[in-house]
Structure 1
Amino acid sequence: MTLQHQLIKNHDIRRMITDLLAALLIGLIGSSHCLVMCGGIAAALQLSMPTQNLLRKMQLQSLLSIGRLTTYSLFGAAVGYFGASAMQFAGVSLLWLRLIAGILLLMMAMYISRLWFGLIQLEKLGQSLWRYVQPVAKKLLPLDSPAKAYSYGLCWGALPCGLVYSTLSWSLASGGLVQGGLIMLSFGIGTLPAILLTGSAANMLTKLKNMQLFRYISATILSIYALYTIWNAIHRLVY
């Protein structure tokens, strides 16, 4: 392997790690929206679980989340593979997708800072899919077995959510199947604290994420990375 190829490989690895950390941060900070969209669902699902000991309920709740993250990862892998294949077929550089990814990341930073709520409009795009998934999910209730809990989690992952769709669009520019799946998995892991925590712990997390300074700091970090992604894509396209 030549020195140039080694440098390119190292750059790609660093970029992937940074992408995963950014996706994790988006999931963590943006999960205040998840509490609105999914918090009620999570609470209702806990009530739908038969009266069992705490350990059993924790097991079922964990399987719900694993199922949701599985769907996220599969969607991310599919669009990542599609994006890379489409660009290769068209003979177009993947850097154009990286440019789009940077723009989407900047939009997500604006959403997290609550300066712009356009991402919510993306949720309308998933309504048609959810109409087919929801009846299947209802048939799995009550959640009285691990198989039902995991299967319901798979359905839950298809719930329309603008933040999920935006991150999914970012996976499109990831460059491949594995990269796209990992980005969505990282995003999903970032949402777990908001979904799994209950009571006072959840309230404390929500208050922290609702603090204006905290949101602005998080949005600034994402914006810096978004601008770097945009600059890097344009620089490599031009030179």
Structure 2
Amino acid sequence: MSADLLAALLIGLLGSSHCIVMCGGIVAALQLAIPQRSFGWKLSMQLLLSLGRLTTYTLLGGLVGYFGVQAMALAGASLLWLRLVAGILLLLMALYIARLWFGLTLLERGGQHLWAWVKPLSQKLMPLNSLPRAYGYGLCWGWLPCGLVYSTLGWSLASGSASQGALIMLCFGIGTLPALLSFGSLASNLSKFKNRPEVRYTAAGILAIYGIYTIYLALKRLVF
């Protein structure tokens, strides 16, 4: 299962170019919303925002992972079907990271309805003038519609357990941190590195191979 966690980390790291597009405006707005205080205080606020977001990801991963196991138990189906679904999702995410297919972004439309309920709560936490408010806003931020997040949640659903689903989402969230916590030239250089074709294709190839291997193992045990 450690390979799943490494794959989730890689998806978060390489897929975070989309996170910059989706969340870059939010990050910039939050920078302005944070009062002018010491660098250490601002850094603490940024870390708590990210911690809140990762908390939401982890809790959602655990919930959907538990739901997946219970649903398969009620249906009397083998958990190997979940591994088959996980392999297919890995292939789709590999295509997304390689920028060969952008179908995952269609999932964001469905999440807009859910975000409509969460957004007013996040606005009540403004301005971000305390550490608890920063953490609370981060919790809300984790619900922002994102096709890559939803796809990774689908993978958590097929993970086979609540704990594994939570860990997959946690590792995915950690992978997005470098892009969302970096600033200025560092952020620009990081983005340029991740957008290099050889980097994207290599990462996508690794994910695709792992996805195919996961599908193969699931089918092998289901058929034989």
Between 1:93-102 and 1:156-165, the stretch displaced more is 93-102
Q: Give the distance between the partners of 1:44 and 1:139, measured in 2 at CA.
A: 15
Q: Give the distance between the partners of 1:123 and 1:102, measured in 2 at CA.
A: 21
**Structure-1 residue corresponding to 2:193:** 208
1:69 to 54, 68, 72: 54
Q: Deviations over 1:135-184 (max 9, x none)?
A: 11011111010110000000000000000000000000111111100000
Runs (4+) off by over 6 Å: none
The normalised TM-score by structure 2 is: 0.99
The normalised TM-score by structure 1 is: 0.93
Count of aligned pairs: 224
Indicate whether 1:60 and 2:25 are aligned.
no
Q: Give the distance between the partners of 2:167 and 2:128, measured in 1 at CA.
A: 28
1:220 to 200, 205, 217: 205
Correspondence list, 1:1-239, <5 A: 16-239=1-224
Q: Deviations over 1:58-83 (max 9, x none)?
A: 00000000000000001100000000
Q: Give the distance between the partners of 1:100 and 1:125, measured in 2 at CA.
A: 20
**Structure-2 residue corresponding to 1:11:** none
Q: Give the distance between the partners of 1:177 and 1:114, measured in 2 at CA.
A: 31
Larger radius of gyration: 1
CA RMSD of aligned residues (A): 0.5
Q: Give the distance between the partners of 2:56 and 2:19, measured in 1 at CA.
A: 16
Q: Deviations over 1:28-56 (max 9, x none)?
A: 00000000001111111011001100000
Q: Give the distance between the partners of 1:78 and 1:156, measured in 2 at CA.
A: 18
Q: Give the distance between the partners of 2:85 and 2:92, measured in 1 at CA.
A: 11
TM-aligned CA deviation for residue 213 of structure 1: 1.1
